[in-house]
Amino acid sequence: KTVKALEPHVNVREKTQGSRKLQNNSSHMHGEDHKHGHEHAHQTVDEHKHDDADGHNHGHSHEHGEGDTRKILLRLGGGGILALAGIFLPVEGVVELLIFLAAYLIVGSEVVWQAVKNIIRGQVFDENFLMALATIGAFAIGEYPEGVAVMLFYQIGELFQGLAVNRSRRSITALMDIRPEFAYLKLGNDLKRVSPEEVAIGDVIVVKPGEKVPLDGTILEGSAMMDTSALTGESVPRSAGPGSTVLSGFINRNGVITMQVTQTFGESAVSKILELVQNASSNKAKTENFITKFARAYTPIVVITAVLLAVVPPLMISGATFSDWIYRALVFLVISCPCALVVSIPLGFFGGIGAASRSGILIKGSNYLEALNDVKVVVFDKTGTLTKGQFKVTGIYPSGGKSKDELLQTAAYAESHSNHPIAESIRTAYGEQISKEAISNYNEISGHGIEVSIEGKTVLAGNARLMEREDIAYEVPEQSGTVVHIAVDHQYGGYLVIADEVKEDSQQAIQSLKKLGIRKTVMLTGDASSVAEDVGKQLGVDEVHAELLPQHKVEAIEKLDREKSHREKIIFVGDGINDTPVLARADVGIAMGGLGSDAAI
């Protein structure tokens, strides 16, 4: 009878425990209250209360330290042994009652005492009240073993849930560890250890091997391998040297670096991430909001129904006895315990958001997580999202008797003073030392290209408009990509094709989305149509829209929104820098690699 009475409660509890795998891997921090009644005071490591302003007060802790867990296990063991003694020993009457009463007090005294305290506070209807009422009622009708067993199983369920929350809390504490505790401020030839909050923009700090980078900045001297896993989830360290941007939360694996601070601690990457994860609980899913409202009315209705179940049938049905129906009312109270119902849904989102944060995915709220279930259209930005955002020379096409090596060398010398990514890609492809003494009269022609003297020869490097302006006949390339034409002393020398590299896993990502049931994939870009179409065809994207300005991207999203059904959702995936309006307009915005981007946050 006990097992049958507990089955629904145990089943729901098992579902709650099922989210423990997610919890174990979560490094998720909630600084906000869960309005359904779980106040996760995660800024402190010692507290974890369940309190509810909604009238549904759990009134007990779901976090157990190692000492607490041992105490609970001892109580469960002692109570269980006494209960078994009462069942199997040949005792009756007062002795039997005393054995079961001792077992009950060992296992359930905390629950009864919490119920009494809540009644004094005016918070009557909670799970402690239900458990106390049901088990004391079982004793009142002589069902001693069931009264103890119900409390025993209830406490076992609470223990498992507490362990799940406790493991998650340890992960949250690990996330807090990415917050740097100090910075070495460089003052002349001396170093002063200060709090990161004391460092201002423009200050110079030193980071030693094994230390966390305390603030965002640019490396001035030194080089090191940076462990970025705490922020990005990437397992492979990155190389960083003079001119490289490093973010707070990175760990310096080797080498001493001197860096100039570019953001205050409050605006640093680590502060943004911690704030983002703290505030995740404020954006609740519809399911969570429904459960919160439902719980307010649920417990009083259960108690009233149980009273009616105990009283009405014996008065209305011939042959019905009060003892039978009181027993059924008590069973009803036990199986209607709302804790698992109220905890399970938020706990699932809590675990999911936490597990994602371990992989470098920051989710601003469970409402966005829930919306993913209805996504049928995924829209991508191209540069930096589907492609690496890193240009590479993909073709060298000489003319006028020049060799490929000669054309590449001329282009590299011509672009030697430019910081443009295309110029950098040409110099990288050349790979040789550039003699700056050979270069003179450098002149950048806005919107066209560069004019420069190399060893006395006038070299032009730029787009087709530059060739037309100088009245130089040039070849029209068939390849897609950005084209740099080269002319030497007004004689056409050929062209280079530079293209953004497609990410290795982009095609697989598109295919995986389609397997998951995504109806349409779309790419929006400001690049030329030929380049965009080539990338779209390579990746298998359903629709490609090219040569778009930011406002045109918003219009494209709105058009897609009108074409989809009411229930379907749209995701936009961008780099988080130039795509702020589109990220805001889509149902779910995903910013790739936007750790340092205000738009992404």
| Catalytic residue positions, numbered | 381
CA distance 277 to 353: 8
Rg (CA), the chain: 34
Classify residue 239 by burial, with Cβ atoms within 10 Å: 0-12, 13-18, 19+.
exposed
CB atoms under 10 Å from CB of 122, counted, come to 7
Residues 6+ apart with CB under 8 A from 533: 480, 544, 546
CA distance 346 to 341: 10
CA distance 41 to 35: 12
Q: DSSP of 78-146, one letter per residue?
A: HHHHHHHHHHHS---HHHHHHHHHHHHHHHHHHHHHHHHHHHHHT---SHHHHHHHHHHHHHHTT-HHH
505 contacts 364 by C-beta, under 8 angstroms: no
542 contacts 523 by C-beta, under 8 angstroms: no
214 contacts 562 by C-beta, under 8 angstroms: no
CA distance 499 to 508: 20
CA distance 176 to 275: 11
579 contacts 599 by C-beta, under 8 angstroms: yes
Closest CA to 146 of 4, 295, 306, 348: 4
CA distance 348 to 88: 41
Q: Which two tokens stand for residue 421?
A: 């990514």
Name the DSSP letter for residue 211: P
